[in-house]
Amino acid sequence: MKTLIGTYECKVDAKGRLMLPTSLKKQFGSLEEGFVLKRSVFQPCLELFPMSEWNKMMLKINKLNRFVKKNNDFIRRFTAGVKIVEIDVTGRLLIPKDLVVFAQIDKDIVLNSAINIIEIWDKDKYENAIENTTDDFANLAEEVMGNLNDDEDGIS
């Protein structure tokens, strides 16, 4: 899959349905294979995986030895609340009620591209998460990306 690009502000209706932006749907390509929607591990948001990306993740996780307690605990927590979702004919995605509650989604949401998945945030929670990391981002960028100076293209 290509890298997904963009941050989109949307609204969720009372039933938990959101209309996916056209430009995002085009980036997904085929919508027929479906998606997996799950709780984020680190943030109070949801993660929308195209089925092909979910399958890649499951190949990695299936290599974990389930007789190691930490592995078993991780698998249980990682897959807690996982749902298969589809985009309906009008381009809407239904967020199951338990996931709406987990992410504390109200009406206004943000869809944020995160390389190969989409994060689904309550708008206020997203803004707070972005604001709270502003001061530390320069240090984080240096720590995470600072040693990646081995590309031939000169971009590091």
Domain ranges of the chain: 7-145
* pLDDT tens sequence across 100-149: 999 999 999 999 999 999 999 999 999 998 887 666 777 777 888 887 66
Cβ–Cβ under 8 Å, residues 37 and 48: yes
User: Nearest 5°: phi and psi at 125?
Assistant: -65, -40
Give the containing element (helix H, strand E) for 48. Answer: strand 46-50
* Encoded tokens for 65: 């030895």
Say what the pLDDT of residue 29 is: 76
| Entry pTM | 0.86
Say what the pLDDT of residue 138 is: 76
Amino acid in the structure at residue 104: Q
Say what the pLDDT of residue 136 is: 77
What superfamily would CATH give domain 7-145?
Answer: Transcriptional regulator MraZ domain (3.40.1550.20)
Count of CB atoms within 10 A of residue 17's CB? 14
Q: Considering only CA atoms, which of 30, 36, 39 is closest in space to residue 54? A: 36
